[in-house]
């Protein structure tokens, strides 16, 4: 695929993502409830990041940061980052994050098409893989390869699980074994697939060390 074709794909995915998330905010209002069924379910996903990555004291890039809820959770947990940057594709959502966390660092940035301002030790992403993109399989591999390329030490991101007994009609659910095969077969064998915290969700964790 040429560079122009890749850019076209990234632009299309960006538009789809903004439409998907803006519709949720319009329907449910700003805050965690825009994207999550409960605050407990959101925080269970965040806790997996801390359980499997040594985030405290590290430089962290939060991709798809939404309203800055991961930063709030980290602070509540007592974690301190050497640098934190929350990035998202939607200006209105980021404005909400900055309003809630005026001392936090947030910016509009598409990691598939742009470079972050520093090399993050760790990348975390919660919820960005639920959007039912056209060309979803290609999107997954682009994201995984990009996170692998950008991170200094590791990354973690979660997916809605195809093993869930109940599913909504809006989101994309992923077969865990398929994802594991894609990552280990095409990117790196070193990974952990965590599916022990919620029946409808799992997290892929990669550490270089």
Q: What is the pLDDT of residues 113-164, one digit of tens each?
A: 999 999 999 999 998 999 888 889 999 999 999 999 999 999 999 999 999 9
The whole-angstrom separation of Cα 32 and Cα 27 is 13
**pLDDT, position 9:** 78
Enter the pTM of the model: 0.89
Task: Answer whether 173's CB lies under 8 Å from 164's CB.
Answer: yes
**pLDDT, position 207:** 97
The whole-angstrom separation of Cα 118 and Cα 95 is 22
**pLDDT, position 62:** 98
**pLDDT, position 33:** 47
The whole-angstrom separation of Cα 192 and Cα 75 is 26
**pLDDT, position 6:** 60
Distances from the Cα of 28 to the Cαs of 19, 21, 32, 143, 173, in angstroms? Answer: 14, 10, 10, 27, 21
**pLDDT, position 45:** 95
**pLDDT, position 5:** 52
**pLDDT, position 190:** 96
The whole-angstrom separation of Cα 129 and Cα 173 is 9
Q: Are strands 83-88 and 173-174 parallel, antiparallel or unpaired?
A: unpaired
**pLDDT, position 10:** 75
pLDDT block averages, 10 residues each, the chain of length 209: 62 74 64 60 94 98 94 95 95 90 95 95 94 90 97 97 91 96 97 96 94
Question: 156 - beta bridge partners?
Answer: 124, 205
């Amino acid at each position: 695929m040429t560079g122009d074709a890749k850019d076209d794909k990234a632009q299309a995915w960006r538009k789809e993502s903004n439409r998907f998330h803006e519709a949720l905010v319009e329907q449910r209002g700003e805050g965690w409830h825009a994207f999550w069924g409960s605050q407990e379910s959101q925080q269970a996903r965040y806790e997996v990041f801390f359980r499997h990555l040594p985030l405290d004291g590290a430089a962290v890039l939060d991709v798809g940061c939404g309203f800055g809820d991961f930063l709030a959770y980290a602070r509540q947990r007592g974690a301190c980052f050497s640098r934190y940057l929350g990035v998202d594709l939607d200006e209105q959502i980021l404005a909400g994050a900055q309003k809630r966390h005026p001392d936090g660092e947030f910016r509009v940035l598409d990691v598939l098409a742009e470079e972050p301002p520093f090399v993050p030790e760790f990348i975390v992403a919660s919820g960005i893989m639920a959007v039912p993109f056209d060309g979803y399989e290609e999107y997954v591999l682009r994201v995984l390869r990009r996170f692998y390329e950008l991170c200094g030490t590791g990354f973690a991101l979660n997916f809605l699980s195809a093993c869930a007994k109940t599913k909504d009609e809006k989101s994309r659910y992923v077969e865990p074994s398929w994802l594991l095969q894609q990552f280990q077969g095409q990117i790196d064998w070193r990974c952990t697939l965590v599916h022990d915290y919620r029946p409808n969700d799992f997290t892929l964790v990669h550490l270089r060390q």
